[in-house]
Structure 1
Amino acid sequence: MMELADAQNRKGGLPLPEAAMYRIASFEVADYWRTKKRSPNMLSLDGDEDADNDTGLATVLPDDSALDLDAWVDARTFLLSCPKRLIQIAFKRVKGVTLENAEYKYLSKWRKREQKIIPICG
């Protein structure tokens, strides 16, 4: 409303055409949302400091650098039951060493053995 009044004052107090008023109003609405989008509200993850609960959300969020214990136990269990030759082949692959033909065949055999068979429903 203030912008419409300012526009009318700039025109010397003459009434504005209806199309001009719509154009000014639509510009003001667009400008409001553009300004609101540029300045997001920052919320604290801990919420109100006066709350009785002293465990904030920031303290219970998962940490990306934390050790995944389930995966670690699964990998450790797998490695304990895995043949030494397969582990040696895996270290060669990690280092980028080319496998010999017999090692490649051994690795292929173990890969086929560990593949999960997907049942086909028909």
Structure 2
Amino acid sequence: MVTTLCCPQDDNPLSYDRLNGEWAQWFRTAQRFEHKVPAQDRGDIRHSIILELALTRARDGNKPFSEAMMCRIASCVVADYWRKQYKLTNGLDCGSCSQKQRAKCKADYLYSQCPKAIKIESLSKPITDENGNVTEFGDTIADDKAIDIGAWLDARTFLLSCPNRLIQIANKMRNGDNLTPTDSQYLWRFRKREQNTLLAM
């Protein structure tokens, strides 16, 4: 379901042509400021400005609502948009710094060189090692839960060549069952044989 501001007779379902009164004025104010954000967010900022103007009007009641005031509100909405964008991409905003630091950044226009900003790296960024091999950055991050393929293959190979009787004994030990004297003797003999094999190596 699509909610629109228009009538069914309108050719464009997103048309604002039928707005009148203050709503039309708020729409025109929003249009003047929406170009200050990226194209993909202009519809959102337009509605945010209109909404903020409507909320302000509702709070103020019958007080005069000049064009300068509307422009100031729209400007604040755009500024809030950029603060949120900056925080989203850098992990903080200017509110994280002291007033002295903010004054310095403002005086020297150091916003692009923020010392506290978090530098975001893409996990698909190619990394070249000293041998010239290229791998993705994400592949270099250690994973504690990753399976040790070598050890897993060794264990699997061992189990494939392992006698069934020994696997049954291992299951008993894992489950906490008592081994019969025969099982204990079989396990002892197997261990002894493996130790002798290791010593021979």
TM-score, length basis structure 1? 0.50
